[in-house]
Structure 1
Amino acid sequence: MPSIAVPEATTAPTFKSAHFIGVGGAGMSGIALVLHERGCRVTGSDLKTSRYIRQLTRAGVPIHVGHAASTIDEFQPDVVVVSTAIPETNPELVRARELGIPVWHRAKMLSALGYGRTTVACAGTHGKTTTSSMVATMLDRMELDPSFLIGGVVEGYGTNGKNGDGEYFVVEADESDSSFLYLDPHVVIVTNIEADHMDHYDSLEQIEETFCTFMGLVGEDGTVIVCGEDPRLVELARSCGRTVFTYGEGDGMDVRLNPAATRHAFGSDFTVTLPDGSKREVSIKNNPGRHNMLNATAALTAAYVLGLDTERAAEALSTFEGARRRFTQVGEVRGVTLVDDYGHHPTEVRATLAAAKSLDFQHVDVVFQPHRYSRLQALCDDFVDAFADADTVILVDVFPAGEMPIPGVTSKMLADKIRAAHPGKSVYYVSDHAALMARIDDVAQAGDLLITMGAGDIATVGPEYLEHVANEAE
């Protein structure tokens, strides 16, 4: 495959202060928090407040809401950190360039934080947040005091970033804009590769090329861990000339997930066979479904290749409480169990609904918010098929994530297509909050599981429905 340009290697940080423009996101806020915990003077700004900004403020990081050139004059940072989302016209970025202040992409700062440490980078189109959260929790509960930076809140820690004094640095590696090519990993985990982020990539082939370059970043003494159930992924990994370990179900896997599993409420108990033939019993909670058994197997594989005690690692995995917005239980009302999930790609939707269907509920009802017009347009047919395991589907308007609408690409269009493809399924489109509350009242019955799903602001619907029912009872 043709090579992808790799950014120059990042060295140890030498600056004393850093300002983050757009610090309120999951990725930027975690980097800012860890840098702050390492003693750097960190400041930030964002257009609006968020739970991540409140977390930084509680930690003592000064944050300005709104962007202004005067912010740079006030804080006078040694370096300014931005993400791909920050336009060149941003007044703080313009002022920083006028003053000759170095501007770093957030991925370069992430790489700098990993300097001198053994970095475990978890990547993949789906599952990377959960898998990286599992690895971080596992290492921490083994008293190895890792640092970690995850694209979501790790339950049990209440944060997406933590500085540790140990050897290991666990990161969720983001492929959405190729920024994971800044990393210098010792161990890479790739859960899967599919077409996504087509606003950045031209084709699946280009995505594969970028992942291949990423896997090749591990040194000659490093290891690439991939899900062996995807032959194409295994082929790509082995083409990089690095040591490759496969995990999954089947005799050909280096680390084998045994198919027999005891499923319990929101979790599973199962056995993993290691390359030396030894077996480890793994129990996970709050993370139902076969895909989460695979994620846990990937984490245990990382412990094996790092030379750690895999019995202790398996025990540590049993303490994993989940990653926020990954099948997170919101509450129960009128006998209906409410769960929230970040799934926004057809494969994620399909896996989450398959997991939900395996649980002991009367019906599975879904409130889905498509994320980005471009994704809905590119993957529309896949979305139609993804809801096969849902008994009821309620569509709300597309979360644009900064995109302009595309004519004809709407949630109503998706609802019509799902209804046509699945004649027996109850499918609805609602366009406002009151109609949504009323529709949930109508469809959700005692014994049902109601899942709110999407990468936008759909997570507010569960708590809002609990409040709606409480107000009705008054």
Structure 2
Amino acid sequence: MRLPVPDVVPAAEELGRVHFVGIGGAGLSGIARIMARRGVPVTGSDDNDTPFLAPLRELDVPVSIGYDAAHVGDADTLVVTTAARDDNPEVVAARAAGKTLLPRSAGLKSVMAGQRVLAVAGTHGKTTTTSLLAVALIEAGADPSYAVGGVLTATGRNADLGAGEHFVAEADESDGAFLVYDTHAAIVLNVEADHLDIWGTEEAYALAFDEFVDGIDLDGFLVCVVDDPGAARIAARQREAGRRVVTVAVDAGTADLQARDLRKVGNGTTFTVVRGTETLGEVALRIPGRHYVADALAALAMGLELGHEFAALARGLGSFVGTGRRMEAKGEAGGVRVYDSYAHHPSEIRGDIEAGRSLAGAGRLIVAFQPHLVSRTRIFAAEMGEALGAADEVVVLDVYVAREEPDPDVTGALVADAVPLPAERVRYVADRTAVVEALVSVARPGDVVLTLGAGDITALAPQVVAALEARG
């Protein structure tokens, strides 16, 4: 369901009693938590009991499982997930009663009121970079509010209210939400075609990013990772327009802030940070992968531009142990380590497979991938398969349909057929219940098993660990 954003979004305290339809999602649960912390009366419902609900129950937020018109009660405002259907009984009842209906983006904007927004945008890496920035600023003593699209391992929460002047927000482009916020400063990590079911064309998708950065405060600034051509284009355009821009890079040699001398240390990566001719020092990340170095460098650049000391920011980055569903360790059994990650776009798959290879060392990397969305699979199946070819063994599930209708011509077989590995090392397993057995049958001591995808494949990783334990 796509709801219009009002021309004026009131502050959270002006919304009255607020009911969340889809409160168990990563986005709405975070907004609800901040509202509750600000003293706003909050209730919510969802069709599933998700991990995001436990922190809300700790705040005594009433949560109902299942949708029913009676759950709306005396709420004045409803904040509604984009996943809600038009016939959702709570939405239907609220409309009939003339209550205010807000999309997620407007709900988030309402809790940003009174703080300067630091927005993290990009096709990939938003959740990790937003988390890195929040942790770095917390270590630097800034005490920001934050809202992240995953659970921040350091705090066990996906959002919280801070006493500082800044609000760190993951700025989602998928439904245009990032165009709603009043942004003081922003990070653009990358711009690659995605969510074309919403935007229609690659050009329209890229133009949305232009509109986003054009809306940054005149006294604000922009950080761009110029290793990515899309972000580099935005940086050049904004500098030409007179915007304060900080460029960062792992590969490009002319950026304002650069990561050099990357070294694998344990399960993480250590690198040296250089600004112009000055060596600022080292950052030791506890997460693997070159793409995470770029994320950390962007967060560091924003922290430095806000006036914080390098040493404090580097400590914060070094303390970061991950975000839920981003190369998240799920367990080890029988000498096999199991990880889960949210990657669903070809570039994300490539990055996480690189990180997985680093973790595997001399062992093999076994990947199970669940394509997400019919439209994305139709467009990117060949590229997904190509990216998966960097693993040693691949299991491809059927498409997680999500907000679209199934298409019998668009299945996981399109991806499996595109994987450039010998046929005996690639399996298309349409029956989800058979995936765990397929993974365990090929895993041996020293291997890493990595489950990838934005759908419900995340539930399989613990089952793989359990099956490995049972195998002995």
The interval holding the TM-score normalised by the smaller chain is over 0.9
Residue 206 and residue 53 in structure 1: after superposition, are their counterparts in 2 closer, same or farther (change >3 A)?
same
Give the secondary structure class of the aligned counterpart of 2:293: helix
Shift of 1:199: 1.3
| Aligned counterparts of 2:304 and 2:201: Cα–Cα separation in 1 | 35
**Match 2:183 to one of 182, 185, 192:** 185
> Is this contact kept in 2: 1:391–1:425, CA < 8 A?
no
The match for 1:436 is 435
Aligned to 1:463: 462
Distance 1:221 1:6 in 2: 25
Q: Look up the match of 1:404.
A: 405
Contact 1:255 1:272 in 2 (8 A): yes
Does residue 1:266 correspond to 2:267, yes or no? yes
- For residue 117 of structure 2, the aligned residue among 108, 116, 119 is 119
Q: Distance in 2 between matches of 1:151 and 1:468?
A: 30
Per the TM alignment, residue 185 of structure 1 is displaced from its structure 2 partner at its CA by 1.3
Structure 1 residue ranges (4+ consecutive) displaced by more than 4 angstroms after TM superposition = none
Gaps of 5+ in 1: none
Amino acid at match of 2:275: L
Query: Shift of residue 204 of structure 1?
Result: 0.9
**Residue 424 and residue 279 in structure 1: after superposition, are their counterparts in 2 closer, same or farther (change >3 A)?**
farther
The residue identity in structure 1 corresponding to 2:233 is E
The whole-number CA distance in structure 1 between the counterparts of 2:66 and 2:422 is: 48
1:372 equivalent in structure 2? 373
Separation (CA, whole Å) in 2 of partners of 1:413 and 1:378: 10
Q: Deviations over 1:170-210 (max 9, x none)?
A: 11011000011111111100110111111101111101111
For 1:390 and 1:186, locate their aligned partners in 2 and report how far apart those are by CA, in whole Å.
41
Residues of 2 paired with 1:466 and 1:369: CA distance?
Answer: 18
**CA–CA distance in 1 between the matches of 2:470 and 2:270?**
40
- 1:181-260 correspondence runs (5 A): 181-240=179-238, 241=241, 242-249=243-250, 250-258=252-260, 260=261
Q: Is the 8 A contact 1:122 1:131 kept in 2?
A: yes
Correspondences of 1:328-407 after superposition (within 5 Å): 328-359=328-359, 360-407=361-408
Q: Percent identity?
A: 37
Q: TM-score, normalised by structure 1?
A: 0.93
In the aligned structure 1, how far is the partner of 2:358 from the partner of 2:122?
A: 25
How does 1:4-153 map onto structure 2 within 5 Å? 8=7, 10-13=9-12, 14-72=14-72, 74=73, 76-153=74-151
Distance in 2 of aligned mates of 1:312 and 1:166: 16
Question: Secondary structure in 2 aligned to 1:464?
Answer: helix
Q: Number of residue pairs matched? A: 463
CA contact (8 A) 1:369 1:396 kept: yes
For 1:361, the aligned partner's letter is A
Q: Which amino acid aligns with 1:30?
A: G
SS of aligned partner of 1:20:
strand
TM-score scaled to structure 2, two decimals?
0.94
1:451 equivalent in structure 2: 450
**1:319-338 deviations in Å (ceiling 9; x for gaps):** 11111111111111111111
Tell whether the 8 Å contact from 2:130 to 2:168 is kept in structure 1 after alignment: yes
Amino acid at match of 2:32: A
Amino acid aligned to 1:428: R
Task: For residue 11 of structure 1, report the CA deviation from its aligned partner.
Answer: 4.4
Question: 1:393 Cα shift?
Answer: 0.2
Which amino acid counterpart does residue 319 of structure 1 have in structure 2?
A: S
Q: Which runs of 5+ in 2 are unaligned?
A: none
CA shift digits 1:344-402 (9 cap, x unpaired):
11110011111222341311110111111211111011112111320000112221113
Contact 1:124-1:192 within 8 A present in 2 as well: yes
C-alpha RMSD of matched pairs (Å): 1.9
In 2: Cα distance, 1:268 partner to 1:183 partner: 34
Matched residue SS, 2:67: coil
Contact 1:7-1:182 at 8 Å conserved across structures: no
1:92 CA displacement: 1.4
Classify the secondary structure of the residue corresponding to 2:410.
Answer: coil
Q: Is the 8 A contact 2:440 2:467 kept in 1?
A: no
Write the distance in 2 (CA, Å) between the matches of 1:20 and 1:6: 16
Structure 1 residue 472, shift from structure 2 partner: 4.5
CA-to-partner distance for each residue in 1:441-470, whole Å, 9 max, x for gaps?
A: 321111111101111111121211222233
Matched-pair contact (CA < 8 Å) for 2:5–2:102: no
CA contact (8 A) 1:6 1:181 kept: no
Q: Could you tell me whether the CA contact under 8 Å between 1:188 and 1:225 is conserved in 2?
A: yes
Q: What letter matches 1:313 in structure 2? A: L
Q: Is the 8 A contact 2:193 2:202 kept in 1?
A: yes
Counterpart of 1:163 in structure 2 is 161
Q: Is the 8 A contact 1:212 1:237 kept in 2?
A: no
State the AA in 1 paired with 2:120. Answer: C
Deviations 1:83-137 (A, max 9, x none): 3222333221222222222111111121121122121110111000000000001
Distance in structure 2 (CA, Å) of the matches to 1:226 and 1:149: 21
The equivalent residue for 1:427 is 426
Q: Give distance in 2, aligned partners of 1:183 and 1:59.
A: 26
Q: Residues 213, 7 of structure 1: CA spacing in aligned structure 2 closer, same or farther, 3 A cutoff?
A: farther
Q: Secondary structure at 1:30's aligned position in 2? A: helix
**Does the Cα contact within 8 Å between 2:371 and 2:412 map onto a contact in 1?**
yes
What code does the residue aligned with 1:203 have?
A: T
Deviates more, 1:352-361 or 1:30-39: 352-361
- Alpha carbons 1:366, 1:392 under 8 Å: kept: yes
Moved more, 89-98 or 262-271: 89-98
1:337/1:319 CA distance change after superposition, 3 Å: same
1:64 deviation in Å?
Answer: 1.6
